[in-house]
Chain A
């Protein structure tokens, strides 16, 4: 037994069924050199009780798959999580998930497992991805004792990278929605946000292809360079 084991919170107790399903989850595939169209992507949006990465909770999950370069309208993923302990706070004004909706939600462990099954081995796209990535990491650890290893690509970085001529400072999702004239059904509804982020991603992939960036790996590498250059720019 590891000496430091006592420092960790003990792993959640899971039923045999959940353990079995967890074991069956595929390992994430590394970003490869297939074309952007061939790569299956999952666009994720989480609604949370707030913006504190250590304290706030995932309340609902919306996800949309991009397969063969298109969004399947009939197969989005959505779960509202059962959070009886969640007190109503100001965030309800944003996501609109009241206590009754949360009480009617499903077991977080099951919901998260369903999500991981939906994601499969695909890389994940999200707007402000680091936030979703960290919230999800913590939720997976708490509810399932599972380590999130998937690659996340941030659409909020991809958009300015591919549109250097568009000057939008600290642009949010709404700015890019407006920039490309997209229509969104209901902002801050997890699936609707995932859907519009996915539409944005389709436009960005098309731009990437024209800039000779036609694989997930190339895209990730270019993002890394871009980040580095941006950091240097800030340093000066």
Chain B
């Protein structure tokens, strides 16, 4: 070692010793505790340490595009946002030691939307953007963390960032994704004359399940897969020195890179193959394997949907319910989002309901009058989880009340039979008798309209409760026109009735999100529970559902799904785009936490419960939950202000 090297080495040791304390500090927090030591050391070495006195501004919107990444080393940082509608600011989040900011602005290459201030005397590690990008590209852990958008929640991430996160995580692509985007690695190829042993060696080296045999122009001649290898091994006469061409599957099935993931999945299930070549202008440009299509869960979905739709008997449908549960479990395990899962459950439930109705009609005979099968509540909003009550009704057309009575008499037995069969399929009978077999819920369009008008006119507690169920309605089976007319009438009445809106707002404020003024959760103990808990559904989701319903009804928005309602409210300018995105993300996270809990409960053979002990969550999840609940609080505060409650 030359003298200079020795000094450099001594210098390195000094640096390492000096950053050791910071390293150890960071290693107590995600994502730093999961990062490789080398990556973390690089990060710390590139950092500057800065001090901010209490109240001092760290970054603010006027500073322009964010140039640094910050980690709170000691102290506390608070986010303050200017009110959109009135003067003054509100504290939107708090960032404590070991936490970082402002990820969304940094990734989005824009200014922060929130002023970050030191909440008390605070030291921050400051990393310049170039070094941030370097760490971002080196460390998978860090990248995932940054993209998962912990802070994005706090910082009201834009859609674009989340989109990128989805791509990077690679777990959530739609079946419409072009195959060209999924086949990321170069296909492994060889010439027809390559000895079999050599071809297999290449496959082994590259850790792939297939090799494509191509000619000089890279046109695929055949494919050799692990399955072919099994045959070779089983064949006593096989020679490993023979050219691979002798054992390959000639003329392999191929698709264009523009074909969709769905096409590939269908081809694989129909042809019983595990690899599809991608060919562009006669040249091989990629290979898609079954594994690339992500454990075939989406194929399961397509398959399951089709099986439900064609189930010959009720028994089959009952049996298929179990498979829906398994599918959901697998999707959750693979990190699918709560929105995707609720949509899929709703889709499969819709298929089941339709099939039950069709089978009932086939069995009991056509009643001879057209009718529509309605659903309400969470099913109406397309937000069902696995265990679900029936909330349904029937809508038909009648000239007058006498005709309505006749039709009702004809439809009721069928409706009751359908209710009964749905219960067998796992849709629990509704305790409140909100079911089509109830004569009060098997109504003509004018009867429904009268009923709804009553809800809006007289705001009794029962009517308010009713409106929170019935006003989230949609058609599952049958013609949708009548229901749309009904909805239009309803929206007109609500828009005109400020008193009713105010009552709904009052109702929407009843469940307060369980977060206190500062940092902690407000928990309650149920019966003889050991740990104090909070209710994810009632205290977490309901404020969003009720708030979105009220604002949607008041502004003539016909959508029922809470997230759709929020998006349309943003589009109409009723709520600020940043707030909308923040509510959406918060809602999404609470729902996800709830579903994961249900999954755990199923596994442990415990009854379903929406109550969670925040201490049972990990550091990160607990923090996001707290911020999510705070968003619910903000939504309520905006309602209180809007309706002067």
Contact = CB atoms under 8 A, between A and B. Distances in A.
Given A73-B45, A76-B14, A203 B51 contact: yes
B88 interface: no
Given A180-B121, A199-B123, A73 B53 contact: no
Interface string B37-69: 000000011111111110010000000000000
A78 B48 contact: no
B48 A192 contact: no
A210 B53 contact: yes
Contacts of A79: 10
B29 interface: no
Interface in A64-82: 64, 68-80
B15 A76 contact: yes
A137 interface: no
Contact of B49 (A62, A80, A199): A199
A184 to B, nearest CB: 7
Contact of A71 (B17, B21, B49, B53): B49
Given A181-B74, A183-B74, A199-B123, A73 B25 contact: no
Contacts of A207: 53
A206 interface: yes
A168 B639 CA distance: 52
B68 to A, nearest CB: 10
Nearest to B120: A181
A196 B47 CA distance: 16
Interface in B11-27: 11, 14-15, 17-22, 25
B17 A70 contact: no
B513 to A, nearest CB: 32
B49 A78 contact: no
B51 A199 contact: yes
B49 A184 contact: no
B125 interface: yes
B51 A73 contact: no
A70 B49 contact: yes
B45 A74 contact: yes
A14 to B, nearest CB: 16
Interface in B406-440: none
B74 A73 contact: no
B527 to A, nearest CB: 42
A165 B126 CA distance: 31
Contacts of B6: 106
Given A183-B21, A191-B18, A199-B123, A206 B51 contact: yes
Nearest to A60: B14
Interface residues of A, number: 35
A83 interface: no
Contact of A70 (B11, B44, B50): B50
B49 A189 contact: no
Interface string B73-90: 010000000000000000
A74 B11 CA distance: 10
B608 interface: no
Nearest to B41: A74
B643 interface: no
Contacts of B14: 62, 76-78, 191
B10 A72 contact: no
Contacts of A199: 49, 51, 123
B21 A185 contact: yes
A73 B22 contact: yes
- Kindly name the residue among B15, B49, B51 whose own CB sees the greatest number of chain A CB atoms within 10 A: B51
Contacts of A192: 17-18, 21
Contacts of B294: none
A202 interface: yes
A73 B125 contact: yes
Contacts of A195: 18, 21
A189 B56 CA distance: 32
Contacts of B125: 73
A156 to B, nearest CB: 19
Interface string A74-110: 1111111000000000000000000000000010000
Given A184-B21, A192-B21, A73 B49 contact: yes
Contacts of A180: 121
B18 A76 contact: yes
Nearest to B126: A70
Interface of A: 62, 64, 68-80, 106, 114, 180-186, 189, 191-192, 195, 199, 202-203, 205-207, 210
Given A73-B18, A183-B74, A191-B18, 20 more contacts: A62-B14, A69-B50, A70-B49, A70-B50, A73-B45, A73-B48, A75-B15, A76-B15, A77-B14, A78-B10, A180-B121, A181-B74, A183-B21, A184-B21, A185-B17, A191-B14, A191-B17, A202-B51, A206-B51, A207-B53
Interface of B: 6-7, 10-11, 14-15, 17-22, 25, 44-53, 56, 74, 121, 123, 125-126
17 contacts: A70-B48, A70-B50, A71-B49, A73-B46, A73-B47, A73-B49, A74-B19, A75-B15, A76-B18, A186-B17, A186-B21, A192-B18, A199-B49, A205-B51, A206-B53, A206-B56, A207-B53
